[in-house]
Each structure stands twice: as structure tokens, then as C-alpha cells.
């Protein structure tokens, strides 16, 4: 499977999950808990394959500092979601209005990150890395993703 197709499919799923999550009402406490757990797992697997395999492939293929900055920004956005936005949700009461606000923040944050990758990074990777190499990279990423989801489940 092509690496970019794999990541785009993940993005579609992450958009659906975070949108569903942001749309939940204060009384849907169990749904909120379940969705957050699923989002965390999928996000962890997705950002890990990007950081372990996809971003390094871009860095290897490029000697342009703009690409290095784009990768640094991506990593920082992953870290902010993992260390700030998601921990804030864990601290909040699921039945509160504050939680509703934070769920919307998570959704907006994720949408922003996915859009940047799709509009700026993926076209750049297509320019720099050939189809065959992207296929091979995608196979590796898919195998690693399955392994991670097995560990996280
Ligand atoms: Fe990402
Ligand atoms: Fe991504």
C-alpha cells in the first residue's frame, strides 16, 4: 500500500472520530469515554508510524531546511495533542460544559494538523519520493501500525 494513501485513510477515520466526539452532549458520558479511548489509540498508532517511518523518509529525501521545519512542526503538534489536549480531557468531568469545549478544541486541533499534512507535506513527499519507494514505505508502515494497535488494544 502507498504510504500516503495509508495516512490519508487514517486521516479520514480520525476526522470522523474527533467530529463524533466533538458532537457528543454532556449526558453522553459513556460514549465520551469510549470515543476518547479509541481516538487516543488511533492517534498514537498514526503519529508513531509518521514519526518512526514517514517523517524520516521525507528528511532523508530532502536537503531543504523548509522540509526539516515542516517535520519539526508536525512532531510538535503531535506532542501538544499527546501532552496537553488529551491530558486536559482526562482531567475534566465528562458531563461538564468544559469537557464539551475541550472536545471541540481537540477536533479543531486535529483537523488543522491533518490539513497541513495533506496540503503541504504530502504533495512535497510525492515530489521527492518515487511511487515504488512509497509503496515499500507504506508496507512497512502498515505492518508497524498493526503491531502498535495490537500492543495498545
Ligand atoms: Fe501527523
Ligand atoms: Fe497524519
**Percent of the chain residues past pLDDT 90, beyond the cut:** 98
Query: What is the model's pLDDT at position 106?
Result: 97
**Percent of the chain residues past pLDDT 70, beyond the cut:** 100
Average pLDDT, stretch 104-125?
97
**Ligand located closest to 122 CA:** 2
Are the CB atoms for 1 and 136 separated by under 8 Å?
no
pLDDT band, residue 126 (cuts 50/70/90): very high
| Residue 113 neighbours by CB under 8 Å, 6+ apart | 74, 77, 78, 81
Query: Which tens digit of pLDDT belongs to each residue from 3-23?
Result: 999 999 999 999 999 999 999
Structural domain count, the chain: 1
Query: Which tens digit of pLDDT belongs to each residue from 52-66?
Result: 999 999 999 999 999
Q: 27 CA distance to ligand 1 centroid (A)?
A: 31
CA pair distance 104, 66, nearest whole angstrom = 30
Average pLDDT, stretch 91-114?
97
pLDDT band, residue 85 (cuts 50/70/90): very high
Compute the C-alpha angle 18/22/24, nearest 5°: 120
CA pair distance 18, 139, nearest whole angstrom = 26
Report the chain's mean pLDDT, rounded to a whole number. 97
Pure H helices in 3-130: 3-22, 29-49, 55-61, 65-80, 86-91, 97-116, 122-128
pTM assigned to the model: 0.96
Domain residue limits at 74: 3-152
CA atoms in the 13 A half-sphere facing the CB of 10: 30
pLDDT band, residue 108 (cuts 50/70/90): very high
Query: What is the model's pLDDT at position 75?
Result: 98
Q: Is the pLDDT of residue 153 over 90?
A: no
CA pair distance 50, 52, nearest whole angstrom = 6
Q: 121 CA distance to ligand 2 centroid (A)?
A: 10
**Ligand located closest to 118 CA:** 2
Q: 70 CA distance to ligand 1 centroid (A)?
A: 11
Q: 7 CA distance to ligand 1 centroid (A)?
A: 9
Q: 103 CA distance to ligand 2 centroid (A)?
A: 19
Residue with grid cell 492517534, as numbered in its chain: 43
pLDDT band, residue 152 (cuts 50/70/90): confident
Amino acid at each position: 500500500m502507498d504510504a500516503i494513501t495509508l495516512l490519508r485513510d487514517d486521516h479520514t477515520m480520525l476526522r470522523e472520530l474527533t467530529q463524533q466526539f466533538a458532537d457528543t452532549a454532556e449526558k453522553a458520558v459513556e460514549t465520551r469515554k469510549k470515543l476518547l479511548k479509541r481516538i487516543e489509540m488511533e492517534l498514537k498508532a498514526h503519529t508513531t508510524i509518521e514519526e518512526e517511518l514517514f517523517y524520516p523518509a521525507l528528511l532523508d529525501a530532502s536537503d531543504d531546511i523548509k522540509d526539516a521545519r515542516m517535520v519539526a512542526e508536525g512532531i510538535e503538534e503531535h506532542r501538544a495533542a499527546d501532552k496537553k489536549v488529551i491530558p486536559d480531557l482526562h482531567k475534566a468531568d465528562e458531563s461538564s460544559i468544559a469537557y464539551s469545549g475541550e472536545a471541540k478544541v481537540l477536533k479543531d486541533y486535529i483537523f488543522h494538523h491533518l490539513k497541513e499534512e495533506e496540503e503541504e507535506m504530502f504533495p512535497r513527499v510525492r515530489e521527492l519520493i518515487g511511487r515504488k519507494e512509497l509503496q515499500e514505505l507504506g508496507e512497512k508502515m502498515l505492518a508497524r501500525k498493526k503491531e502498535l494497535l495490537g500492543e495498545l488494544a
